Chain A
Amino acid sequence: MSKVLIIGSGGAGLVSALSAHESGAEVIVASKTLPTRSQTSMAQGGMNAVLGSDDSIANHITDTLNSSAGLGDENRITFMCEKAPEAIAWCNYIGLPFSRDKEGQIARRRLGGASAPRACYAQDYTGLKLLHTLYDQCLKAGVTFKNERFLLNLIVDEEAKRVLGATFLHIETGEVEEIRADAVILATGGYGNLYGKHSTNSVQASGDGLAAAVRAGAKLADMEFIQFHPTALKGSSILISESARGAGGYLLNAHHERFTDELAPRDVVARAIHDEMAKSGAVFLDIRHLGEEFINHELPQERKLAQIYEEIDPVHELIPIKPSAHYSMGGIEVNAECMSSVKGLFAVGECANHKIHGANRLGGNSLLELVVYGRECGKNATEYGTKNPAPSAESMQLAKDTNFIRGVMYFTNQIDFYQKQEMLANIFYNNVGLVRDDMGLKAVLGAIRQMQKELPFMGPRDKSKICNTNLVEFIEFGNKVELAEIIVVSAISRVESRGAHYRIDAPVRNDRMFGAHTITWKEDGVLCADFMK
């Protein structure tokens, strides 16, 4: 029996777990939190699928391809869009409580960049309800959960370039453990939290899986593409779902005038807001005309959050908003079977780059991707593990990582890493945000290189072995710094504008030179980058 280790317990991890279990694998899900606490719970808008005759799969494919600005893989997008109705039927089969229309069919709404209403939803809790439904199914299937396991490194047979398992810090006990497996699936989510308070993401989204993958020799793709959601609450970057605009919400400038098409793709709307904020000073979302009853029923979260964080009631008042870092299009490069450049190492969900979203993701395509490709990934990993059982090879990784956890306690702490983390978030928002240029990017690269040198002079100040979240946050910071360099180098290399990557010093798309994926990897610790079709 093939043993499959899944790292991360959000939607992508749990769908893969169910699929690997169905395919006959022994499944272990290791995660730094409880499964229901992952980022998927925050997805609101919906899951795209063409269900009725008022829409067509061809339109879904075209919309996704257009939004991807030349970096979407047509075959894979076609595969996903064709599988979408089946994915929705599967979600319905396992009990996802979708909202319904008058005919009793799964209710759909229109999100930005979509030519028809095709996002199937469960109020504004689509992600939450999907995640919990999946968790319930995993318990039914008897999947083994190892919670509170923080991923340190992948265990790799260097010569064969084959993954053998992973090492973890058990947060509660402070012990370093290893879990061996025939195949490993990374489902660890994105890196949006690099932007700190300028991100809609959970604090967990620190890109741990991507950082571990690159250390293990895997390739990453298109890391410079980070989607900014047009409407986050101004003070806290808490997300106000696109469904608010899908339902007819307006964007207003400081003079309370509309200034853009609210339902254009996210990159377009976010940049329009950015420009308008520079011009008139403020931008608001107006949903007052939708009425209290509609808001209470369809957008209950947004009303509550606006009241708590902005102290305004959207039923009667304008919501102050700003664009915030929301989704990582970049990720671990995978082939059509979801396998990375390291044998036996698979990746799925936001941490992976399936070349579905390209340079800009459409709302409603991320939940769809994790269901469709999660099911593929679990099956493929099981098959791989069955055909290629992992050798019980010796590895120094556990000893190395145990020593690291012991040694990091002796880092000197002359420099406060929380302060550096905040600085990194600010310079990323300002210089690696919606609008970029060569000078600004290079300044950030300089700051990152400095931080890399300073890491040994930082470290956890809390010396407890038991449940040391200060230690966990320090390692997360290390992962962010590792990825920050890759993102900025990718952004500097791409001297053009495309989708979410907008260079004010090169505002035009240049397919001849840059109509390709930015591939990055490390060789003996040195970062390498190249453009590849």
Chain B
Amino acid sequence: MNIRISDSSTRSVGRICVERVSISLGDAVDAFEAVRDLDFAIAPGELVCVLGPSGCGKSTLLGALAGHLPVTRGRLAVDDQAVLGPSSDRGIVFQQHTLFPWKRVRDNVAFGPKMRGLGRSERHRAADEILRLVGLEGFEHFYPSQLSGGMQQRVEIARVLINRPRVLLMDEPFGALDAQTRSMMQEVLLDIWTRIPTTTIFVTHDIEEALFLADRVIVMSARPGRIIEDIRLPFGRPRRAELVTEPDFVRLKRRILDLLRQPDSPEPLARLSPLGVR
């Protein structure tokens, strides 16, 4: 355990391999292919954003990496270990409302350590420490419903990162927040990610968000989702809010907009979630 923590700080764990992966969802007659033939690798410590139109299967891919959905073809692996089911090695943050409503903030965050068998005082100390890191000192005794949406997502991130996962999977984590809170949370995330370097896949349909956060942006097509572009971003770190108005940024934004501009599909596709069809 100790070896792994020091490893992750030197960014040598968290390599993700997606090898020729296809995922089908739905039962018998209603079955359909959500993603087709995805093939890419993510280096340890990278922050990759996956962009794509609604229903393109980007959340499906995330759910499969978390171990909540089986792949139909191909192989998923993290650090050469095949993904066979959920594990605290692969933390997932949903869009909203997945904190345990009956647990106070501190106990929500301490859930992972509790499952690992840590004693009460030890896990509370660990929880308080990471809550301080995400800027929630003083809210340890609140229930989730007493927090704003942005604060709830900070707790979500803390609850996952306390397990020091190999990879952090985020499914439109700021999608339900207002614009102002959202851009603040993007900076919070980058700050935390710098302090606890973790390979991160961040699913979003907000192009600016992807460009602001990522080292690399993977653009997916409409269903069945395939990779149509894999862009390494030239922006340095730390990122500043002014980045979004720089010429390079605007140029990339226009390029991705063109990629995502599709002829309208005959009927709107059902939204997909990391747990399958909604």
Asked if A pairs with B, the answer is no
